[in-house]
Amino acid sequence: MPTLNENTQLGGQALERIVFTAAELSERTHTLGRLISEAYTAQDRLLVLGLLKGSFLFMADLVRAIHLPLHVDFLIASSYGSDKVSSGDVQLLYDPAASLKGRAVLIVEDIIDSGTTLNRLIPRLKARDPTSVEVCALLHKRLTNLDHEARWVGFDAPNEFLVGYGLDYAEDFRHLPYVASL
Ligand code: IMP
Ligand code: MG
């Protein structure tokens, strides 16, 4: 695996330190998959909705650890441009094609920061008649109380800007197999 120093060259900025290793991410994702598998049954018609782009790697690993019939779809909600600070404005750039009606919806998010994305998104999804809406977030900065708290969280994250394993800084660093701070 490339070292932190080699990956420093992959984006415009230097990485500070590895916060969660690939092995830690993998182990925790498998545990989350098991807990989620125990929380639903096949009758729930689970629909796993990944928030792009940040959740793409976590989503891919998580669904392979869930041992239930399920469908997969994605949603693109954008609240960040190339800046590190949320603009507070959430746009739905791609909406799931799948119907939510009568399904148990599980939203998969990479990281919860201000909570704005989920606070704005969840009411819109609930309006479409799913039987339930839950959130599984890989990382949670615990900065605010969400209107609808995440049922499953991978790790509490430090209040630093994190990249890797799907998370980006201006689109760089998403492909790193670990989570690092900038
Ligand atoms: P929130 O709406 O403020 O909770 O922000 C949620 C979204 O902002 C996440 O899905 C990420 O895409 C992005 N984000 C928040 N914090 C970070 C970070 O530390 N690194 C990379 N992206 C982040
Ligand atoms: Mg995101």
Q: Which of 46-50, 56-60, 114-118, 175-179 has the lowest mean pLDDT?
A: 114-118
Point out the ligand nearest to the CA of residue 117: 1
Query: So what's the pLDDT on residue 78?
Result: 72
Count CA atoms closer than 13 A to 66's CA, side-chain side: 25
Band (1; pLDDT cuts 50, 70, 90): low
Q: What is the mean pLDDT of residues 13-21?
A: 92
Tokens of 61: 């690993």
Amino acid found at 128: R
The pTM of the full predicted model, rounded to 2 decimals, is 0.91
Tokens of 102: 């009568």
Sign of CA pseudo-dihedral 149, 128, 103, 97: negative
Tokens of 163: 């990249």
- Residue 9 reports pLDDT greater than 70: no
Instruction: For ligand 1, say whether the CB of 174 is within 6 Å of any of its atoms.
Output: no
Q: What is the mean pLDDT of residues 66-74?
A: 97
Separation of alpha carbons 151 and 10, rounded Å: 34
* 21, 22, 24, 28 alpha-carbon torsion, rounded to 10°: 140
Question: Which candidate in 113, 129, 156, 168 is catalytic?
Answer: 113
- Residue 44 designated active-site: no
| Tens-place pLDDT, residues 122-158 | 998 999 999 999 999 999 999 988 999 999 999 999 9
Among 111, 117, 146, 165, say which to mutate for ligand 1: greatest number of ligand atoms within 8 Å of CB. Answer: 111
Q: pLDDT averaged over the chain?
A: 90
Point out the ligand nearest to the CA of residue 165: 1
Count CA atoms closer than 13 A to 164's CA, side-chain side: 24
